[in-house]
């Protein structure tokens, strides 16, 4: 993940005289943009806007709003109105020029995306209630929360992103391409400080797989003999779930073989996560996952329960930086620790 730092200077400093009346979508870096940032070539920017935050993940998953949702689901981004997608993810924070309403900005993006071949999947306004299942008007705070986990997201001028949404509008566009679908989700926030546009573009694509090595029983044994522990990556869980996926069986088979070949060996199964989500939640998730590994070994392979214990470490023991998907994939692991 590439993360450009957010500018600490005040925002919305473009002079009104520099904004022409026919403001619309443009492309090309501006001198005030954060270092290393750029517009997405398929989307562009609203004329006079500045990039104040920029983040790219070469392969990750994220949740986008595709229809009306319940505000109580905004933090977790689950349930009706949400869609999880995977691929290359570009997140761009723009501050908008003074005197331009979120409606004007939304309409410009809407027309520009249509002209580029996007179909508009969903638009809404919090003040009209069209963002919510209830159909009732609400403030924009709930919409702002759906941008993502406040802890994981870069801040916007030293404040959480959702705090910039006193009122909000949203647009989701979809472009079908031979190399993969592109989703453009645009969150527009209005408040008494400055108006902002949060653009998340997801370029769906196939994961470049085969990056994590599968270890056989003999290799597990050697690693434990050398260091007292070994990280395994073939025990797989669905996103945000603790149940073990069926395709984990080859790795479980090898762990069971190790334990049968070494009857004196006792193991502590330790679950680890990346840093996506809160520390408390990840700790609980890692504990449940580790416990289910022990359960699988005792139930399905007849390994004696007194040879196994479980523990969750959550996000507290990373072995790689969490700023790339490759690093986060290394941190999402199960470790076997000799007792």
Ordered structural domains, the chain, with CATH: 2-203 (no CATH), 217-338 (3.30.1330.60)
Least confident range from 20-24, 201-205, 319-323: namely: 20-24
CA distances from 183 to 21, 45, 170 (A): 29, 16, 13
Cα separation of 151 and 279, whole Å? Answer: 10
Quick check: 20 pLDDT over 60?
no
Q: For residue range 30-62, what is the model confidence (pLDDT) as tens digits?
A: 668 999 999 999 999 999 999 999 999 988 889
For residues 255-259, average pLDDT? 97
Q: Degrees (nearest 5) of the Cα angle 153, 154, 155? A: 110
Q: What is the pLDDT of residue 329?
A: 84
pLDDT tens-digit map of 73-109: 999 898 899 998 999 999 999 999 999 999 999 999 9
Concatenate the DSSP letters of all residues of 208-263 into one string: ----SPP--HHHHHHHHHHHSEEEE----B-TT--SBPGGGHHHHHHHHHHHHH-T
Which structure tokens are listed for 318? Answer: 């990373």
Query: What pLDDT, on a 0 to 100 scale, did the predictor assign at position 18?
Result: 28
Confidence of residue 19 (pLDDT cuts 50, 70, 90): very low
Q: What is the mean pLDDT of residues 69-76?
A: 93
Q: Residue 265's closest CA among 299, 293, 307? A: 307
Angle, CA of 120, 192 and 137, to the nearest 5°: 50
3-state secondary structure of 268: strand
pLDDT tens-digit profile of 291-325? 999 999 999 999 999 999 999 999 999 988 887 77
Please state at what angle helix 217-227 crosses helix 249-261, rounded to 10 degrees: 60
H/E segment holding residue 331: helix 325-331
For residue 2, pLDDT beyond 70: no
What confidence tier does 28 reach under pLDDT thresholds 50, 70, 90? low
Q: Convert 258-271 to b/e letters by CB count within 10 Å (16 or more is b).
A: bbeebeeeebbbbb
| Token representation of residue 257 | 């073989």
Instruction: Give residue 183's pLDDT.
Output: 96
Please name the residues in contact with 240: beta carbons below 8 A apart, sequence gap of 6 or more. 285
Q: pLDDT digits over 105-150, tens only?
A: 999 999 999 999 999 999 999 999 999 999 999 999 999 999 998 8
Strands 167-175 and 182-190: antiparallel
Share of the chain above pLDDT 90, in %: 72
User: How would you label 68-85 residue by residue, b for 16+ Cβ within 10 Å and e otherwise?
Assistant: bbebebbeebeeebbbeb
CA atoms within 13 A on the CB side of 241: 9
Q: Is the predicted pLDDT of residue 271 greater than 70, yes or no?
A: yes
* pLDDT digit string, tens, across residues 175-198: 988 888 999 999 999 998 889 999
pLDDT reading at 21 higher than 90: no
Q: What are phi and psi of 333, to 5 degrees?
A: -150, 165
């Amino acid at each position: 993940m590439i993360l450009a730092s957010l500018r600490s200077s005040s925002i919305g400093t473009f002079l009104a005289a520099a904004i022409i009346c026919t403001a619309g979508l443009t492309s090309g870096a501006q001198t005030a943009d954060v270092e290393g940032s750029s517009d997405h070539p398929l989307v562009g920017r609203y004329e006079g806007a500045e990039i104040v935050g920029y983040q790219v993940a070469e392969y990750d998953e994220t949740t986008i709003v595709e229809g009306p949702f319940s505000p109580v689901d905004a933090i977790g981004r689950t349930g009706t109105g949400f869609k999880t997608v995977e691929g290359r993810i570009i997140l761009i924070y723009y501050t908008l020029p003074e005197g331009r309403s979120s409606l004007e900005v939304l309409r410009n993006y809407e027309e520009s995306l249509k002209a580029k071949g996007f179909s508009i999947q969903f638009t809404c306004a919090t003040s009209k209630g069209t963002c919510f299942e209830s159909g009732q008007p609400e403030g924009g705070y709930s919409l702002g929360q759906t941008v993502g986990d406040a802890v994981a997201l870069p801040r916007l001028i030293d404040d959480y992103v959702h705090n910039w949404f006193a009122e909000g509008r949203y647009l989701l566009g979809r472009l079908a391409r031979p190399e993969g679908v592109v989703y453009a989700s645009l969150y527009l926030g209005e408040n008494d400080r400055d108006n902002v546009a949060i653009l998340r573009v997801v370029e769906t694509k196939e994961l470049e797989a085969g990056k994590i090595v599968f270890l056989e029983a003999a290799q597990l044994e050697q690693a434990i003999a050398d260091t007292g522990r070994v990280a395994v990556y073939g025990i797989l869980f669905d996103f945000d779930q603790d149940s073990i996926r069926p395709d984990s069986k080859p790795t479980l088979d090898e762990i069971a073989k190790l334990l049968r070949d070494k009857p004196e060996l006792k193991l502590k199964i330790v679950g680890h996560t990346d840093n996506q989500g809160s520390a408390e939640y990840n700790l609980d998730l890692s504990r449940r996952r580790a416990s289910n590994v022990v359960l699988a070994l005792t139930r399905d392979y007849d390994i004696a329960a007194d040879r196994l214990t479980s523990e969750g470490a959550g996000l507290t023991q990373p072995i790689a930086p969490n700023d790339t998907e490759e690093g986060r994939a290394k941190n999402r692991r199960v470790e076997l620790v000799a007792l």
